[in-house]
């Protein structure tokens, strides 16, 4: 009893995983619960001793989850945590289930575009790389630059400027089937997006593979240009994000994640607007300041340079 009581939540889940998942209705539910535990429950509550878990701890965790995930995901995470606590009650480590006592998170009526936390983004990239390094590289560049899928797949090695730590976005794939072609960007204007230092080895590796004078930075197994639909189907992207607890998450939401990351990092809305290719500051974020910072200062912030 005493040894169990002293277990922190992360260790408790490891020790009693079989009991926690026993009796679930489907393997998909188990996969969802494992994602909730790894990506939200452990980061927020893993350090808390199982016998010390209180309703106030649950409510604080729910607030944190709600900043980055939809109400559906938060409720799924709450249900998973409640299942863990029910087992602890059965084992007499808790007098009652703190999740039941905790207030339910409010339903947010305003539609929010889903985004990933830094930990979730790293998990997604790693899972895609297990399928193929190419898919992980694509996701990492999308998360670091905020470019749309059509713009990402239309990049050329010559668009990457390692001296200025920027990428020149000039074109995008549009249309499907025989109508697929290269066209101007959605705004019809060129723009420069950031190249965080973490992306430099990824982009250099891609350029070494295709050659500095290649027409396309990203190529398929036969050397042809990549199609977004093929990337989604062959990478298992939808299944991975579903297992992470984000059933409605789309590839385009990697762009939203990048933009949200820039704003939270303190990058000015004017700079974010330029990087994202938005038509106005209102589109970028109607609630934030509109002070402009230049590209060099913004890159220092993004790369954590003081």
* DSSP strand pairing (160-161 vs 166-169): antiparallel
Q: Domain containing 38: what range?
A: 2-100
Residue 106 domain-assigned? Answer: no
Domain match, 30 and 159 both: no
Give φ, ψ of 149 to 5 degrees: -60, -45
CATH of the domain at 91: 1.10.150.130
Q: Are residues 50 and 18 in the same domain?
A: yes
Based on the fold, state whether residues 62 and 154 are members of the same structural domain. Answer: no
Query: Rounded to an integer, what distance in angstroms lies between the CA atom of residue 82 and that of residue 71?
Result: 16
Is 295 among the domain residues? yes
Contacts of 287 (CB under 8 A, 6+ apart): none
Residues 90, 146: one domain? no
- Pick from 41, 67, 100: which residue ends a domain? 100
Q: Is residue 110 part of a domain?
A: no
77 and 200 together in one domain: no
Same domain, 147 and 252: yes
Q: What is the pLDDT of residue 110?
A: 47
CA nearest to 126, candidates 115, 139, 136: 136
Q: How many domains does the chain have?
A: 2
153, part of any domain:
yes
As to burial, measured by CB atoms within 10 angstroms (0-12 exposed, 13-18 middle, 19+ buried), residue 1 is exposed
Compute the distance between CA of residue 53 and CA of residue 44 in angstroms, rounded to an integer: 12
Q: Tell me: do 86 and 160 sit in the same domain.
A: no
pLDDT value for 230: 93
Residue 64 lies in a domain: yes
Note the pLDDT of residue 286: 43
**Same domain assignment for residues 123 and 73:** no
Q: Is residue 229 part of a domain?
A: yes
Q: Are residues 63 and 154 in the same domain?
A: no
- pLDDT number for residue 136: 97
Mean pLDDT in consecutive groups of 10 residues from the start of the chain, 306 residues? 80 95 83 91 95 96 88 92 96 95 78 80 97 97 96 97 96 82 87 96 96 93 88 95 92 91 86 88 54 50 62
Domain boundary among 49, 67, 100: 100
Beta-carbon contacts of residue 66 (< 8 Å; ≥ 6 apart): 74, 105, 108
Structure tokens of 72?
């559906």
CB 116 within 8 A of CB 76: no
Whether 105 is in a domain gets the answer no
- Phi and psi angles of residue 225, each rounded to the nearest 5 degrees, phi first: -70, 150
- What does the pLDDT read at residue 264? 83
Residues belonging to the chain: 306
Q: What is the DSSP string of the chain?
A: -HHHHT-BHHHHHHHTHHHHHTT-S-HHHHHHHHHHIIIIIHHHHTTSBGGG--HHHHHHHHHHHHTTS-HHHHHHHHHHHHHHHHHHHHTTSSSS-HHHHSPPPPPP-S-------HHHHHHHHHHHHHH-HHHHHHHHHHHHH---HHHHHT--GGGEETTTTEEEE--EEES-GGG-EEE--TTSS-EEEE--GGGHHHHHHHHHHH-TT-S-SSB-TTSSBP-HHHHHHHHTHHHHHHHTT-TT--TTHHHHHHHHHHHHTT--HHHHHHHHT-SSHHHH-TTS------HHHHHHHHTT--
CATH number of the domain enclosing 157:
1.10.443.10
Same domain, 157 and 286: yes
> Both 60 and 166 in a single domain?
no
The per-residue pLDDT for 95 is 94
Residue 287: the pLDDT is 29
How much is the pLDDT for 4?
A: 77
Identify whether residues 7 and 35 lie together within a single domain: yes
Please tell me the pTM assigned to this model: 0.67
Domain boundary among 36, 68, 100: 100
Phi, psi of 65 (to 5 degrees): -60, -40
Contact of 269 with 291, CB cutoff 8 Å: yes
């Amino acid at each position: 009893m005493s040894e169990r009581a002293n277990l922190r939540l992360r260790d408790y889940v490891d020790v009693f995983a079989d009991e926690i998942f026993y009796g679930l209705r489907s393997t998909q539910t188990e996969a969802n619960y494992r994602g909730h535990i790894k990506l939200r429950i452990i980061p927020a509550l893993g350090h808390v001793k199982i016998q010390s878990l209180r309703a106030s701890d649950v409510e604080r965790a729910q607030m944190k989850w709600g900043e980055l995930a939809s109400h559906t995901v938060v409720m799924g995470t709450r249900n998973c945590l409640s299942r863990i606590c029910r087992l602890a009650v059965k084992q007499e480590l808790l007098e009652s289930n703190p999740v039941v006592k905790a207030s339910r998170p409010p339903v947010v009526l305003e539609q929010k575009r889903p985004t990933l936390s830094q930990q979730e983004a790293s998990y997604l990239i790693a899972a895609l790389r297990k399928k193929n390094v190419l898919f992980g590289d694509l996701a990492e560049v999308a998360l670091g630059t905020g470019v749309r899928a059509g713009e990402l797949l239309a990049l050329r090695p010559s668009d990457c400027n390692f001296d200025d730590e920027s990428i020149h976005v000039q074109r995008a794939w549009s249309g499907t089937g025989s109508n697929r072609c290269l066209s101007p960007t959605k705004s019809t204007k060129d723009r420069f997006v950031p190249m965080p230092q973490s992306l430099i080895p990824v982009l250099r590796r891609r350029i070494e593979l295709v050659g500095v004078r290649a027409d396309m930075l990203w190529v398929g197994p036969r050397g042809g240009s990549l199609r977004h639909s093929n990337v989604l189907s062959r990478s298992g992207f939808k299944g991975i994000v579903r297992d992470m607890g984000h059933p409605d998450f789309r590839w385009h939401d990697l762009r939203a994640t990048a933009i949200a990351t820039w704003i939270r990092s303190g990058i000015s809305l004017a700079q974010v607007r330029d990087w994202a290719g938005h038509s106005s500051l209102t589109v970028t974020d109607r609630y934030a300041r509109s002070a402009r910072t230049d590209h060099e200062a913004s890159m220092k912030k993004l790369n954590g340079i003081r």
